[in-house]
Amino acid sequence: MGLAPGFHGANATGRPFTGDHAGLLLYRTLHEFGWSTAPESQHREDGLRLVGARITNAVKCVPPGNKPTPAEIRQCNGYLAAELTALASVRVVLALGGIAHGAVLRALGLRARDFVFAHAGEHALPGSRTLLDSYHCSRYNTQTRRLTPVMFRQVFERIAVLCGDA
């Protein structure tokens, strides 16, 4: 789960993390683990399908300055809560960044102070779910090496174990 649709990415293409830098690492990693039918997404009609995975955002519209405000996050949180309720069989929720992490907790009615965000942090959620954290796969984080492909892959290795796919 990410922050919000990117102006040149999902807002233009109709698919989360498509058309922007953050999607490069995400879709390659999803494909490597068998959760995407292709390693790259160009647009929503390119044939790529997610397999046993779903991508959503904390905020449903493009925020000014590409960073959602607390008010926007609160306003959209009901949609995320409904998605999480509808997807009762989901065992692992991956939060890409602290904002997504906080939005998941808020959507589930949990206190943020009880679930501290940390890269590769793992948190037991109600309903036998696990919240797994990763730094966001943004251009800034990957170019500064705050998040490397190896670090991101390790998070997905843990997801595979938690889902029984490893």
Nearest CA to 106 out of 77, 67, 129, 127 is that of: 77
Q: Is residue 114 part of a domain?
A: yes
Where do we find the tokens 């069989």? 89
pLDDT of residue 151: 97
Nearest CA to 10 out of 31, 37, 32, 41 is that of: 41
CATH number for 42: 3.40.470.10
Domain count across the chain: 1
Q: Is residue 24 part of a domain?
A: yes
CB contact at 8 A, 125 and 164: no
pTM: 0.90
Q: Is residue 68 part of a domain?
A: yes
Residue type, 143: Q
Q: Is residue 60 part of a domain?
A: yes
Residue 117 is part of which domain span?
10-162
Scored b (16 or more CB within 10 A) or e, 112-123 reads: eeebebebeeeb
Q: Is residue 25 part of a domain?
A: yes
Q: Is residue 1 part of a domain?
A: no
Nearest CA to 55 out of 21, 86, 96 is that of: 96
pLDDT of residue 61: 74
Q: Is residue 145 part of a domain?
A: yes
pLDDT of residue 13: 64
- Give mean pLDDT in consecutive 10-residue pieces for the chain, a chain of 166 residues: 59 71 91 95 86 86 75 89 92 94 95 96 95 94 96 97 84
CA 6 to chain centre: 13
Q: Is residue 132 part of a domain?
A: yes
pLDDT of residue 1: 63
